[in-house]
């Protein structure tokens, strides 16, 4: 083929594939087309694409063209056997003879398949090799610069397609997990609301009658102390029921234009003593140009008190809590992050901490986060957490700026 028409083929192929990488959400379709087109454009015998499985450290076959089933069904291909340090420095590697090169894990089978020479193109994302595009030739040959440039550019497109698929997959998993959590918490919320309603009225009766009775009991009576305990414990039950009702979103927020930084400062003010006693350093990084948002200030203040108290418990003694506020790039959401340097949350608890009554703290009621979650959801917002044991936790509240 004359050089000019070869370059035209490369150009058309590259354009077609890079359009597909950007428009298609089906990564398998893109990769299948990649191996087919690269084989044809380079006049090769076949090509295959392997992606590194981070758990097993094996290169898994993702797409292949022009190679027999029996050749493709050889055993697993391990990272160490086919990738050497050379691949980290070079955008391509040529293997002149499949029979003698150590980077060919199954030389005998390769030779029987009619393969003689290989062009390897490592797929690099973010400084590590995450895959390999391997093009096989039936005879030894020289490569022109244009051919290699074309193959390297295609490999970069492959890397983009795989990276995009990975991001879409991660996002999907996050949404699935959020949807599951929301569903679970709303079922719990309905149950909590039912129980709270049933208990609220009798409790109000107990409190009313015991408050009246205590007035009639002389101060020196032995009954007095017992009655005081009844009243105190009933009031504690009322607070818990109140918390359950808030978690069940029974308390509609009374929204007005509110400066979120001011609300956080009020919550901090209430807890300053707690922070001082525990030698906790508080750092505030507030965005100065946040627009006021329609929020229920006192409900959100309660959320910040809950989150900051939890952070203080997690830090225990000597550590830092950082509060950051900002709006997202589109100016549609307020984002508030509360990060602590505390004990962190084990992965198996991450799904449970927003459930009512889940607590690992002595004397904790396990309602703080459940209530906070209810309040934030009632503002059409989201409350999420990221944490690793021993590395602290970061709670993020996202609230819509426009109602
Ligand atoms: N910042 C944090 N770091 C580590 N663990 C946390 C953090 N925040 C919450 N947790 C975990 O989540 C659990 C639930 O928190 P939640 O605020 O709902 O209840 P609690 O703090 O135990 O009790 P209370 O109802 O008094 O707030 C905690 O017991 C703790 O295990
Ligand atoms: Mg708490």
Instruction: Quote the pLDDT of residue 311.
Output: 97
Q: Establish whether residue 355 lines the binding site of ligand 1, counting it when its CB lies within 6 angstroms of any ligand atom.
A: no
**All structural domains of the chain:** 3-169 (3.30.450.40), 252-403 (3.30.565.10)
The sign of the torsion formed by the CA atoms of 351, 354, 357, 360 equals positive
pLDDT digits (tens, 9 = 90+) for 273-319: 889 999 999 999 999 888 899 999 988 998 999 999 999 999 999 99
More confident residue, 131 or 5: 131
The distance of Cα 174 from the centroid of its chain, to the nearest Å, equals 6
Q: Identify the nearest ligand to the CA of 363 by its number.
A: 1
**Mean pLDDT in the chain?**
87
Going from the Cα of 310 to the center of ligand 1, the distance in angstroms, rounded, reads 5
Ligand 1 atom closest to the CA of 343, numbered from 1? 4
Instruction: Quote the pLDDT of residue 51.
Output: 86
- pLDDT tier for residue 254 given thresholds of 50, 70 and 90: confident
pLDDT digits (tens, 9 = 90+) for 14-38: 888 878 777 777 778 888 988 998 9
Residue to probe by mutation, ligand 1, list 339, 349, 368, most atoms within 8 Å of CB: 368
Q: What is the pTM of this model?
A: 0.58
pLDDT digits (tens, 9 = 90+) for 204-219: 999 999 999 999 999 8
pLDDT digits (tens, 9 = 90+) for 381-400: 999 999 999 999 999 999 99
Q: Identify the nearest ligand to the CA of 393 by its number.
A: 1
Instruction: Quote the pLDDT of residue 1.
Output: 59
Q: How many CB atoms lie within 10 A of CB 52?
A: 20
């Amino acid at each position: 083929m004359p050089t000019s028409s070869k370059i035209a083929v490369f150009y058309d192929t590259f354009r077609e594939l890079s359009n597909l990488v950007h428009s298609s959400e089906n990564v398998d379709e893109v990769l299948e087309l990649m191996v087919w087109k690269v084989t044809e454009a380079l006049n090769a015998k076949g090509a295959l694409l392997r992606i590194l499985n981070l758990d097993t450290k094996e290169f898994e076959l993702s797409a292949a063209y022009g190679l027999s089933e029996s050749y493709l069904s050889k055993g697993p291909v391990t990272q160490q056997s086919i990738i050497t340090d050379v691949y980290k420095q070079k955008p391509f590697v040529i293997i002149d003879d499949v029979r003698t090169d150590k980077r060919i894990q199954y030389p005998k089978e390769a030779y029987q398949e009619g393969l003689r020479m290989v062009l390897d193109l490592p797929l690099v994302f973010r400084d590590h090799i995450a895959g390999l595009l391997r093009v096989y030739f039936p005879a030894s040959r020289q490569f022109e610069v244009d051919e290699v440039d074309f193959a390297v550019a295609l490999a970069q497109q492959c890397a983009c397609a795989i990276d995009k698929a990975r991001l879409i997959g991660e996002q999907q998993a996050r949404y699935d997990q959020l949807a599951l959590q929301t569903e679970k918490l709303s079922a719990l919320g309905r149950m909590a609301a039912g129980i709270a309603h049933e208990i609220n009225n009798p409790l109000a009766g107990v409190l009313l009658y015991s408050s009246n009775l205590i007035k009639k009991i002389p101060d020196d009576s032995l009954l007095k102390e017992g009655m005081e305990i009844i009243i105190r414990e009933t009031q504690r039950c009322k607070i818990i029921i109140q918390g359950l009702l808030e978690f069940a979103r029974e308390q509609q927020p009374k929204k007005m234009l509110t400066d979120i930084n001011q609300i956080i400062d009020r919550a901090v003010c209430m807890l300053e003593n707690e922070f001082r006693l525990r030698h906790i350093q508080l750092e505030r990084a507030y965005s100065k140009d946040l627009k006021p948002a329609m929020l229920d200030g006192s409900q959100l203040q309660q959320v910040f008190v809950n989150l900051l108290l939890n952070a203080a418990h997690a830090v225990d003694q000597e550590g830092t809590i950082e509060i950051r506020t900002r709006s997202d790039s589109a100016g549609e959401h307020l984002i508030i992050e509360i990060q602590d340097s505390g004990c962190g949350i084990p992965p198996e608890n991450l799904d449970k901490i927003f459930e009512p009554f889940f607590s690992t703290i002595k004397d904790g009621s396990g309602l703080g986060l459940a209530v906070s979650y209810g309040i934030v959801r009632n503002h059409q917002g989201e409350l999420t957490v990221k944490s690793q044991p021993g590395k602290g936790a970061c709670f993020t509240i996202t609230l819509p700026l426009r109602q």
